[in-house]
Amino acid sequence: MFFASDNGGPAAPEILDAVLRANAGNAMPYGNDPIMDSVRRKIRDIFESPDAAVYLVATGTAANSLALASMVQPWQTVFCHRHAHIEEDECGAPEFFSGGAKLTLLDGENAKISPQSLKDALAFNAGNDVHHVQRGALSITTVNERAGVYSLQEIKALCDIAASNNIPVHMDGARFSNALVALGCSPAEMTWKAGVETLSFGGTKNGLMGVEAVVLFDPKRAWEFELRRKRAGHLFSKHRFLSAQMDAYLSDNLWLNLAAKANNAAARLAEGILKIKGAKLTHPVDANIVFASWPRKGHVAAHDAGAQYYIWPDGQSLDGPPDDMISARLVCNWATTDAEIDQFISTIS
Amino acid sequence: MFFASDNGGPAAPEILDAVLRANAGNAMPYGNDPIMDSVRRKIRDIFESPDAAVYLVATGTAANSLALASMVQPWQTVFCHRHAHIEEDECGAPEFFSGGAKLTLLDGENAKISPQSLKDALAFNAGNDVHHVQRGALSITTVNERAGVYSLQEIKALCDIAASNNIPVHMDGARFSNALVALGCSPAEMTWKAGVETLSFGGTKNGLMGVEAVVLFDPKRAWEFELRRKRAGHLFSKHRFLSAQMDAYLSDNLWLNLAAKANNAAARLAEGILKIKGAKLTHPVDANIVFASWPRKGHVAAHDAGAQYYIWPDGQSLDGPPDDMISARLVCNWATTDAEIDQFISTIS
Amino acid sequence: MFFASDNGGPAAPEILDAVLRANAGNAMPYGNDPIMDSVRRKIRDIFESPDAAVYLVATGTAANSLALASMVQPWQTVFCHRHAHIEEDECGAPEFFSGGAKLTLLDGENAKISPQSLKDALAFNAGNDVHHVQRGALSITTVNERAGVYSLQEIKALCDIAASNNIPVHMDGARFSNALVALGCSPAEMTWKAGVETLSFGGTKNGLMGVEAVVLFDPKRAWEFELRRKRAGHLFSKHRFLSAQMDAYLSDNLWLNLAAKANNAAARLAEGILKIKGAKLTHPVDANIVFASWPRKGHVAAHDAGAQYYIWPDGQSLDGPPDDMISARLVCNWATTDAEIDQFISTIS
Amino acid sequence: MFFASDNGGPAAPEILDAVLRANAGNAMPYGNDPIMDSVRRKIRDIFESPDAAVYLVATGTAANSLALASMVQPWQTVFCHRHAHIEEDECGAPEFFSGGAKLTLLDGENAKISPQSLKDALAFNAGNDVHHVQRGALSITTVNERAGVYSLQEIKALCDIAASNNIPVHMDGARFSNALVALGCSPAEMTWKAGVETLSFGGTKNGLMGVEAVVLFDPKRAWEFELRRKRAGHLFSKHRFLSAQMDAYLSDNLWLNLAAKANNAAARLAEGILKIKGAKLTHPVDANIVFASWPRKGHVAAHDAGAQYYIWPDGQSLDGPPDDMISARLVCNWATTDAEIDQFISTIS
């Protein structure tokens, strides 16, 4: 019963098979391996973006930070939700990679940026005053930190505001596949067709050992990106092992199938929880993450049974009246089984 | 016939086996996996350093830069050889990670820092003048970029100079295992017993997919190191896959056996080259790298046969008198076979 | 009728006289002039802090940024009010000088940080999680950007919270003298006795040409500060001209007399405005700044008469119904005359 | 007898007069004062560069570092002489302002970069390899740190090499006026006509209290420069005091007259020294700096008489055989008098 995070799950067997195959013989290092050519082709095809620059790194923080640093100057600011991963969970990585750019924190329900909040912040940073930091970029996350998936309309609305203010858009897609499956649209529709310039395209949380792609739909800063990646220690010598994972991921719809499994698991989990008396969802379940509350006694039982997940927010105690409601975050991954879910529901009910 | 670099070789089968085993089930992320506990214990044992702080990253540049950044302030300088990897091959990563520290370049035969060069540079940076950058740290590389391995006496001589000037010592051990096998001493003797405070302990070039340890023999800055690693995007969520590689590497003397194979291959390669009329070594072959020159016609034949290695230094042409001497760099790895070497010698002879 | 800012006023004649005197003959550069010795003694005496380290720079942004950079690490955050000068008016200077530290924005009426807002932010940044930026320092501004002066009790309350969370306190005292005169306490009471570790002690807005002192009541990082100042280009070669200004400023209570003039001018200005029908203060007038609203027709008249001040907040138009209320900011300086104020009141009434 | 440095000399009376005049009344801050308009016009006229962007800062380190940071990316390198001020005397300021760019040190007699040294360094940094830092800019200093003034031909030769390698050229002209007077050419010939893109145009060492101009002959990065200046705390609120100094400096050929006085003083000083038996110049005296050696007994006499100058290089003792040669650096400024020089010669003879 493991719902702590999708980064605690295993890699998919197809991924490990690909790594084993890639290990045969020698290969030129630093991304000059032939498998990377295949990855580049596949991503360009999948995103209908024949000129996109495509790079691999091993962590989501590296993907986000390198992407943002190539989009903003040190004296600019990145507009993002106050619960964005880049704000709360990367120990200041965007500031480090960008040379000290600022993050301007926006509001909105379910960790989705509200258009008004973005407009207000842009109005404040009008951008022609040397005393203020300047407008840099907009960063939106989907699936976001409160389980939310932006609709195509929501993405487009934010991108349009950004465009009319001449700032580029970054998408933190650490769980891009989960969001895409949830929307049922094309990868292009969810990104550059809506106005996204640079994408962190996650793999690690969806069955890879540790690979994220950065896709620059506008390749004008591709060389800068390569230099930044090297300079940050994120260019792998034995790059073929990254290439092989991403290549397998993008073959035979594996990436979509894995994401669908995780999303379906979350749906089943939410459905089960809602059957408990008094239980409710504390955020909508848009993809593979469930925020919900149920009586304390159910949490105590789960804890005793060794189930792993986070009480959310911090600071709610397992000691107290058994019928009080306690809220929690549960994350499903591709390997979460129906049996595991059902056992959990049975435990907490 | 692959001698381009040891980072072009495959991972050892024991490593891949360990990765497969580590994939079973779920695991807590970010280094909280139980395999990392085993890695920590093994490194502390091997280095006879029970309090050492031990961290894993995936690239040598990350290991070196994080280590150095935790040792120097932005207004200080790192003393290193002018052919050090940190100076020539990391696109300014030490400057990036440290917030703009300088590298002061030293001289010495075969890319080994001469004690006099270090003394002169320290005298120039006397360290009490606000106009100059301040003394920060000494960084020594072994096996270095010209195939050289420092003797224990050489390491100690440099560390003693550093100590008497109150600066700590970093060792870039991307090929630490190859150097250790060459010296036949203990890991402790080659490091903290000689005066090294922080070690980049490489694995990638010696049979791992991509893992380097950083060992802080003095753990006083361990927490700072953890924060710097996270902030630089080098803390892996699915950390167990790094742990598993390093754990297998340190089991059953695998790391030493792999290094010995590479070193022996280089010795055989050098011996074969020296049998060619006019051929000579352009640097001593201390470990697994061969710098040598032989007639141009031999290089042409190698090139025609598809052999991979670097003409070194750049700019020597394969067009010209067939008997002129052309120099090159050849690197062996654990998987280099006798047959491959013999075929190469036969080709170039 | 100049109320645009106190940095638009002239330097006091005593200051220029001191500069002229200092110009006689040669002087050792970089703060080694004898006048700096006098400055150091006077500041230590005035603040009853015999061990304080005292440095001069020429701008408030330099003073604040160098002070903060010497107090926080790049992976830490500075807690400050969301309307602090360091957040809104320095183009990201704290981020630049600190190597990318974050600013965590707090709330509170009249631009004073509320203790609860600080407590909440500290609770969120609990400080032992590698994924979050770490607690760095608290920065409080007095006189602040909305005319507010913290009482001694308010300063102490915030400093106590900081101390119990082990973070040091910086005071942005660009208008320190105005605040001190307003409180009528001793400089020590307003700073280190309340818990302030480092002070930006402004002079430019109060009659100097361009000098600010940074006072490190705890001198443990004095040498680091000197290196940071040099490295940032803020160590003056002809330092005697800074020394002379500050020395004259601190002689014969000049600094206090100038501040009292500015505060008194603001009181007179506020009193005059309040006599206008419908006029009101939009923030309390604690020192030398007035935030007030009065009918649009008064603003139009002031504009036509060439009066200089800022409509505040931005975006209120002078076109519209003449009796609508429009708010503004007016700043007095030591040279503001009663005649100028009375003329202004007469103009807008 | 003050020859320690030209930054130890006084400001010229015309400069102080201008400061006093500028103090009358109020003025808009941050360079929006009318005197700055005059400065801008004068510099554009003097340099025959009607589109040049012109900014003032207060220190040479600020001028150089802001200029360089606006010309190079963090992953690039600045080619400069190993004795350049930016390398030896700014505590790593270029690294700080640029976000960690490197300085590549070149050689050449009398601290002038030799064309061959520049060519060799450019060949090494070929610029298309992600592992190396990239070519950024060339920085040349005149008058340089060993008293040397580049001839127009020498400047042009270096700029041509830079241009053919697509890197811009910065000139550190902390003593620009002294060099210009020495060459007797036009300011345009010495700068943009020869290929210089950005100039640090010094005033402090030549009779100002503390002002340097940065002239961007190509204004494409003017707005970036303004943001960098603000962010670094180098935008002055009471900017009129900088404007006034520079405006007076450029009026009635004051800047040239002051420089001529300093140069003439150095010529007289050198002539006098050379009359001493055994004395010689250790570098050519191209402008206002003298490097010379004469017998130790002369230094002892000078020391006893309270003369101020630097024994150069460090480490030569005043104790020892009286007839041994000891070398020194002596710097003249606009206020150095013939009487002072003659007294010094008489003392050391």
Cα–Cα separations (whole angstroms), residue C282 to A91, A120, C289, C300: 38, 22, 11, 19
| C168 and C311 together in one domain | no
Answer with the one of B193, B221, B252 that is the final residue of a domain.
B252
Residue A233 lies in a domain: yes
CA atoms within 13 A on the CB side of B120: 11
Burial of B3 (0-12, 13-18, 19+ CB in 10 A): buried
CB contact under 8 A, B5 and A230: no
pLDDT of residue B128: 79
Tokens of C153: 């009790």
Report the DSSP pairing between strands B280-281 and B212-216: unpaired
Q: Which of C4, C65, C233 sits opposite D93 (nearest CB)?
A: C233
Q: Where are the alpha helices (DSSP H) in D52-196?
A: 60-69, 85-88, 93-98, 115-124, 152-164, 176-183, 187-190
Domain tally for chain C? 2
Domain identity same for C236 and C292: no
- C-alpha distance from C55 to closest chain A C-alpha (Å): 24
CB contact under 8 A, A130 and D99: no
Distance (Å, whole) CA D346 – CA D349: 5
CB contact under 8 A, D130 and A73: no
Distance linking the first and last C-alpha atoms of chain B: 15
C-beta neighbour count of B114 within 10 angstroms: 16
Q: Decide if C83 contacts C117 (C-beta within 8 A).
A: no
CB contact under 8 A, B235 and C134: no
The alpha carbon of residue D217 is apart from the nearest alpha carbon of chain A, in Å, by 21
Residues 6+ apart with CB under 8 A from D136: D71, D72, D73, D76, D77, D78, D79, D101, D167
Query: Do A71 and A145 share a domain, yes or no?
Result: yes
Contact criterion met (CB < 8 Å) for C75 and B130:
no
Asked if C2 and D26 come within 8 Å (Cβ–Cβ), the reply is yes
Per the domain annotation, does B185 fall within a domain? Answer: yes
- Clarify whether residues B243 and B162 are in a common domain: yes
Please indicate, yes or no, if residue A1 is contained in any of the structural domains: no
Can you list the residues of chain C whose pLDDT is less than 70? 127
Q: Which of residues 26-65 of C touch D (CB under 8 A)?
A: 26-29, 57-63, 65
Hey, is the C-beta of A104 within 8 angstroms of any chain C C-beta?
no
Nearest residue of B to residue D73, measured between CA atoms: B92
Question: Is the Cβ of A99 closer than 8 Å to some Cβ of chain B?
Answer: no
Number of CB pairs < 8 Å for A and D? 29
> Of C254, C275, C291, which one is at a domain's C-terminal end?
C254
Q: CATH no. for residue A300?
A: 3.90.1150.10
| Mutate which: D65, D97, D131, D310, vs B, most B CBs within 10 A | D131
Structural domain ending residue among the three candidates B252, B275, B293: B252
- For chain A, say whether D305 makes contact (Cβ under 8 Å): no
Question: What's the sign of the alpha-carbon dihedral A298, A304, A307, A310?
Answer: positive
Q: Are residues D160 and D202 in the same domain?
A: yes
Q: How far apart are CA D212 and CA D234, in angstroms?
A: 11
Residue A60 lies in a domain: yes
B136 in a structural domain: yes
B306 close to A (CB below 8 A):
no
Does B93 sit within 8 Å of A62, measured CB to CB? no
Give the ipTM: 0.97
Closest approach of C85 to chain A, Cα-based (Å) = 10
Q: Which domain holds residue D335?
A: 255-348
Residues of B in contact with C228 (CB under 8 A): 75
Inside any domain, residue C90 = yes
Same domain, A211 and A69: yes
Same domain, B226 and B134: yes
Residue D106 shares a structural domain with residue D131: yes
What's the pLDDT tens digit per position in A61-75?
999 999 999 999 999
What are the chain C neighbours of B228 within 8 Å (beta carbons)? 75
Q: How close does chain C come to B342, measured CA to CA in Å?
A: 52
Q: How many C-beta neighbours within 10 Å does residue D313 have?
A: 11
Q: Distance between CA B329 and CA B5 in Å, rounded?
A: 9
Selecting from D77, D92, D99 the residue whose C-beta is nearest the C-beta of B133 gives: D92
User: In chain D, at which residue ranges do the beta strands (DSSP E only) sit?
Assistant: 53-57, 76-81, 102-106, 134-141, 169-173, 198-202, 212-216, 280-281, 289-295, 310-311, 325-331
Per CB-CB distance under 8 Å, the chain D contacts of A235 are 130
C62 and D233 in contact by Cβ < 8 A? yes
State whether residue B21 sits within 8 Å of chain A by CB.
no
Whether a cis peptide bond, with omega within 30° of 0, leads into D211 is no
Q: What is the CATH number of the domain that holds D75?
A: 3.40.640.10
- Which residues of chain C are within 8 Å of residue D5 when distances are taken between CB atoms? 29, 237
Record: contact D233-C29, CB cut-off 8 A: no
Q: Exposed e or buried b for every residue in D64-102, given b needs 16+ CB within 10 A? A: bbbbbbbbbbbbbbbbbbbbbbbbbbbbbbbbbbbbbbb
* Sequential pLDDT tens for chain B (349 residues): 999 999 999 999 999 999 999 999 999 999 999 999 999 999 999 999 999 999 999 999 999 999 999 999 999 999 999 999 999 999 999 999 999 999 999 999 999 999 999 999 999 877 679 999 999 999 999 999 999 999 999 999 999 999 999 999 999 999 999 999 999 999 999 999 999 999 999 999 999 999 999 999 999 999 999 999 999 999 999 999 999 999 999 999 999 999 999 999 999 999 999 999 999 999 999 999 999 999 999 999 999 999 999 999 988 999 999 999 999 999 999 999 999 999 999 999 9
A306 in B contact zone (CB under 8 Å): no
Query: Per the domain annotation, does D1 fall within a domain?
Result: no
Are A229 and A279 in the same domain? Answer: no
- Report chain D residues whose CB lies below 8 A from the CB of C20: 16
| Rounded average pLDDT per 10-residue block, chain A, 349 residues | 95 98 94 96 98 98 98 98 97 98 98 98 84 97 98 98 97 98 98 98 98 98 97 98 98 98 98 97 98 98 97 93 97 97 97
- Do residue D86 and residue D102 come from a single domain? yes
- Burial label for D273, CB within 10 Å (0-12, 13-18, 19+), is buried
Does C198 share its domain with C274? Answer: no
Q: Which SS3 state, helix, strand or coil, does residue B200 take?
A: strand
Nearest CA in chain D to A129: D227
Q: Do C90 and A130 touch (CB under 8 A)?
A: no
C145 touches chain A (CB under 8 A): no
D163-218 pLDDT tens trace = 999 999 999 999 999 999 999 999 999 999 999 999 999 999 999 999 999 999 99
Q: What is the pLDDT along chain D (349 residues), one digit of tens a residue?
A: 999 999 999 999 999 999 999 999 999 999 999 999 999 999 999 999 999 999 999 999 999 999 999 999 999 999 999 999 999 999 999 999 999 999 999 999 999 999 999 999 999 877 679 999 999 999 999 999 999 999 999 999 999 999 999 999 999 999 999 999 999 999 999 999 999 999 999 999 999 999 999 999 999 999 999 999 999 999 999 999 999 999 999 999 999 999 999 999 999 999 999 999 999 999 999 999 999 999 999 999 999 999 999 999 988 999 999 999 999 999 999 999 999 999 999 999 9
Query: Using CB atoms and an 8 Å cut-off, which of residues 114-133 of chain D contact chain B?
Result: 130-133
pLDDT of residue C128: 79
Query: Minimal Cα–Cα distance from A30 to chain B, Å?
Result: 9
Q: Do the chains contact at C130 and B73, CB–CB below 8 Å?
A: no
User: Given this model, what pLDDT does residue A48 score?
Assistant: 98
Size of interface B-D (CB pairs under 8 A): 60
Domain assignment present for residue B188? The answer is yes
**DSSP secondary structure of B145-190:** TTS----HHHHHHHHHHHHHTT--EEEEETTHHHHHHHHT--HHHH
Query: Do B158 and B276 fall within a single domain?
Result: no
Q: Does A220 touch chain D (CB under 8 A)?
A: no
